Amino acid sequence: MLGLDPDPAALWPVASEGIASDADADPALDVAEAVRAHCGAVIDAAGGACVAVKPQLACFERLGAPGWAALAAVGDHARAAGLLVLADGKRGDVPVTAAAYAQALVGSTPSPFGEVKGLGADAFTANPLLGRDSLEPLIGAAAEAGAGCFLLVNTSNPGAADLQDIDAGGAPLHERVAALANEVGAAHVGECGLSLVGAVVGATRPERLARLRELMPRAIFLMPGVGAQGGSASALTPAFSPHPAAGLIAASRSIVGAHAERGGDPAAAAAAAAEELRALAWKSSAEQRG
């Protein structure tokens, strides 16, 4: 999965071509256009080795309304390239607000002026801290839209340990969250045996995968942190045990910024990095399945 976390200060050179900066204009318009072009170029270069893109909503939100328009355009670009779109926003709120986030991500909003379409994402990430009733509107909307909902179970950052590893009645909190994810996902298992409720499980702590797989036998694992955050794809085999598609490896900076290490053209370097990661992921998946 191709992470799109565009940093306006580190876009591919091709992204700024043809944008005539007007010093008096709102820079957000120019930057958002450059971000859109950058993400389009990244998708064109590396998308062939991926099943989905994962735009990081924060990186678009910080550009305001033009950024949100760029996000929608990047989603369209990815879909046109045959890729799924996973909106990575880690939303979580009380039920009435969770329902509004669901409308934004995978649904639409009724109004006297007509139905307002949301992002139309194929999947999204969500934060489970507010509990079951806060997840229901998100999961319900995902089910209706044929989309997926990935709950944060154990994130890839070092600080994750502060709360997620707290001892909660004999097991670390993240295992309790895993049990909750398994429970809320049980009613939404497809023919392939996988639930629409998946789990974000950092690739940075692969030694936990076997236990988490036990707790969530039907969840697709979304595994960020490969590459820039130090995780290695080859350690992730347990994720693939129930199904060849039960693990999704996410990488962004190690692909989009591959030219910094490899040299040469950003697009060629990204394509090569994505291809290598795909090969590794398939190997992990095949090893697990024998």
Active site residues: 90
Judged by CB under 8 A, which of 4, 14, 31, 269 binds a second copy?
A: 31
User: Can you tell me which of 27, 146, 230, 264 binds a second copy, judged by CB under 8 A?
Assistant: 27
Residue 189 per-residue DSSP state: B
Q: What is the three-class DSSP state of 7?
A: coil
User: What is the C-alpha to C-alpha distance for residues 92 and 140, in angstroms, rounded to an integer?
Assistant: 14
Task: Identify which range of 140-148, 153-161, 207-215, 277-285 contacts a second copy by CB under 8 A.
Answer: 153-161
Distances from the Cα of 107 to the Cα of 92, 140, 233, angstroms = 16, 10, 33
What residues numbered 39-58 form the site for a second copy, per CB under 8 A?
56, 58
Answer for which of 173, 189, 235, 268 binds a second copy (CB under 8 A) is: 173
Nearest-approach distance from CB 104 to a second copy, in angstroms? 4
Task: Please state, in angstroms and rounded to a whole number, the distance separating the CA atoms of residues 153 and 259.
Answer: 32
Helix (H/G/I), strand (E/B), else coil: 95: helix
Residues 80-139, interacting with a second copy (CB under 8 A): 90-98, 100-101, 103-104, 109-119, 127-135
> Which part of the chain contacts a second copy (CB under 8 A), choosing from 164-172, 205-213, 255-263, 273-281?
164-172
Measure the CA dihedral 211/193/105/26, to 10°. 70
Shortest Cβ distance from residue 114 to a second copy (Å)? 4
Sequence-ordered alpha helix ranges (H) in 165-252: 173-185, 209-215
Binding of a second copy at residue 18 (CB under 8 A)?
Answer: no
Closest to a second copy by CB, 115 vs 144, is 115
From 279, 164, 155, 243, select the one nearest 205 (Cα to Cα). Answer: 155
Nearer to a second copy, 9 or 18 (CB): 9
Cα torsion through 58, 141, 101, 151, rounded to 10:
-50
Q: Which is nearer to a second copy, 119 or 272 (CB)?
A: 119
What part of residues 214-273 is at the interface with a second copy (CB under 8 A)? 224, 229
User: Which pair of tokens denotes residue 29?
Assistant: 């318009």
Return the residue of 28, 51, 81, 235 that touches a second copy, per CB under 8 A.
28
